[in-house]
Amino acid sequence: MFKDRHSPPKSGGECGLNMRCAKLPSSKNEHNLNFIVAKSTKFGTIYFMNINLRLKVAFYKTDSGDEPVRKWLQDLKKEDKKVIGEEIKTVQSGWPLGMPIVRKLDKNLWEVRVSLKNRIARVLFTVHEDTMVLLHGFIKKTMKTPANDLKLAKRRLQSFGG
């Protein structure tokens, strides 16, 4: 769901998810080209347009190669993953953003605020150059961000070099 999809495919090429892609009319800024994705369904052909994303997304990786946020997302229900992914994409395309979607927690540390069906999720991140690095994700159970979750994200931020 969060694979790097920031390079436009060649016209008519595969772009994943069994979809075909075609470039929109050229712009002067070639690296920010939009493209249309067409997917055939039993209801007909559905066209999607990729928006220019201001940020790429990367998962924080531990020294052992684990990606804790990716693991956390994989363990969630499909509908929760979808909502979280949509909010992350909102941040990608609209950065910098503020409340109610994004809240600054500390220097170089923000949270994506996600309302799920019966609970609240948070994804803590930093921005390094043009990349949103997802440091920590959790389901919020109290009004205040738990100190342990904040400490963990800060530790990961420091090990990342932030």
Tell me the average pLDDT across 39-52.
Answer: 61
User: DSSP strand E in 71-130: where?
Assistant: 102-106, 109-115, 120-128
Residue 96, pLDDT above cutoff 90: yes
What is the reported pLDDT for 10?
Answer: 42
**Considering the chain, what is the average pLDDT of its residues?**
79
What is the reported pLDDT for 98?
Answer: 95
- Residue 88 pLDDT grade (very low, low, confident, very high; cuts 50, 70, 90): very high
Residue 13, pLDDT above cutoff 90: no
d(CA 123, CA 139): 9
| pTM, entire model | 0.69
- Residue the block writes with tokens 């994943």: 16
Report how far apart, in Å, the C-alpha atoms of 156 and of each of 16, 50, 108 are: 31, 31, 12
Report how far apart, in Å, the C-alpha atoms of 40 and of each of 22, 49, 119 are: 14, 15, 35
Tell me the average pLDDT across 111-134.
Answer: 96
Residue 139, pLDDT above cutoff 60: yes
Tell me the average pLDDT across 85-114.
Answer: 96
The answer to whether 14 and 61 have CB atoms below 8 angstroms apart is: no
The answer to whether 108 and 127 have CB atoms below 8 angstroms apart is: yes
